[in-house]
Structure 1
Amino acid sequence: MAGILIIAHAPLATALRECIAHIYGGCPARIGALDVLPDSDPVEVVQQANAEIERLREENGALVLTDMFGATPSNIAARLATLPQVRVLAGVNLPMLVRAVCYRATPLDMLVEKALTGAGKGVQLIGPAVPPPQNECGCAPAPCGEAVTSKTNPTGA
């Protein structure tokens, strides 16, 4: 079963691990969180991350999830990607993490695919994006002049 390490801007890593504990009624084994504070020394955090990977890594490796590509936490996580049997994904969200926890027993590369699928499927539009504008009377507004012109004169002349 793969270990999972979340490295993110504080307090996101810990909050995501706490969400998993809430969902599962307790935190599953081998899930770590490393919050990167604004004044954290990146060298120290890399050392902590390496120690966490060694503690969490299982027979099929470890998955590192980080929040935003290019930011300090992901730059720290990227250093772990060179380790054997370690994969790093940026853009962590709760659906990605839940999916990763569910598929921890699969081979590491399949786990990566499942986590990425969970991340994408977890992003959904709920309801209308913007409520339609209305006039004071509650009616929909009249179309703008350009819309009326384009309907009556398709060439725009």
Structure 2
Amino acid sequence: MIGIMVVSHEPLGTALIRCTRHVFGRLPPQLAALDVIPDEDPEAAIQAARDLLLRINDGSGAIVFTDCFGATPSRIAMTLAQPLRVYVVAGVNLPMLLKAITQRRRPVEEVVEELVATGKGAIRAMRPEDREAR
């Protein structure tokens, strides 16, 4: 099963993980967050990220989400990338994370592109007529 981690500015990763518990009624397995705090030593954060990745990756691969491309959390996340094993996806949002959790029994390389499309599709301007949409 694909391991999933969120590396982000504090407290976004933990908040997103908690949202999954709200949606699924329990905390999904092999899911972790690393909240990068201001002025944190990047080397210490990289080691913490590596330790978390080892804990959540059973050999099926992993997806590491990050919030802002180019920021410190994304640079930390990129140190974890491994071709065809550990993918890093920037711009995490809750729909992307939920999709990853529900698709994690598939091969990781197949899931990544769908996650990007899901994230983009979840961003929209809401109109008054959307109040009735479900």
Is TM more than 0.5 here?
yes
Greater Rg over alpha carbons, structure: 1
1:7 alignment partner in structure 2:
7
1:83, distance to aligned residue in structure 2 (A) = 6.7
Measured at CA, do residues 47 and 83 of structure 1 come closer, stay the same or move farther in structure 2, by a change above 3 Å?
farther
Secondary structure of 2:105's aligned partner: coil
Which ranges of structure 2 fall in alignment gaps of 5 or more residues?
129-134
Distance 1:52 1:85 in 2: 15
RMSD of aligned C-alpha atoms? 1.3
1:22, distance to aligned residue in structure 2 (A) = 0.6
1:59, distance to aligned residue in structure 2 (A) = 3.2
1:81 alignment partner in structure 2:
81
Q: Does 2:125 align with 1:125?
A: yes
Distance 2:53 2:84 in 1: 11
1:121, distance to aligned residue in structure 2 (A) = 1.1
Higher relative contact order (CA 8 A, sep 6+): 2
2:131 alignment partner in structure 1:
none
Distance 1:96 1:56 in 2: 18
1:59 alignment partner in structure 2:
59
Secondary structure of 1:44's aligned partner: helix
1:58, distance to aligned residue in structure 2 (A) = 2.3
Deviations 1:42-90 (A, max 9, x none): 0000000001111101232111000000000000001001376111000
| Amino-acid identity (%) | 43
Distance 1:48 1:86 in 2: 16
Paired AA for residue 22 in structure 1 = H
Distance 2:103 2:34 in 1: 21
- Count matched residues: 128
TM-score normalised to structure 2 length: 0.91
1:34 alignment partner in structure 2:
34
Distance 1:24 1:121 in 2: 21
Distance 2:83 2:114 in 1: 21
1:72 alignment partner in structure 2:
72
Does the CA contact (< 8 Å) of 2:84 and 2:109 recur in 1? no
Measured at CA, do residues 58 and 111 of structure 1 come closer, stay the same or move farther in structure 2, by a change above 3 Å?
farther
Distance 2:116 2:65 in 1: 11
The aligned runs of 1:72-111 (5 Å cut-off) are 72-82=72-82, 85-111=85-111
Does the CA contact (< 8 Å) of 2:7 and 2:73 recur in 1? yes
Secondary structure of 2:79's aligned partner: helix
Which ranges of structure 1 fall in alignment gaps of 5 or more residues?
129-157
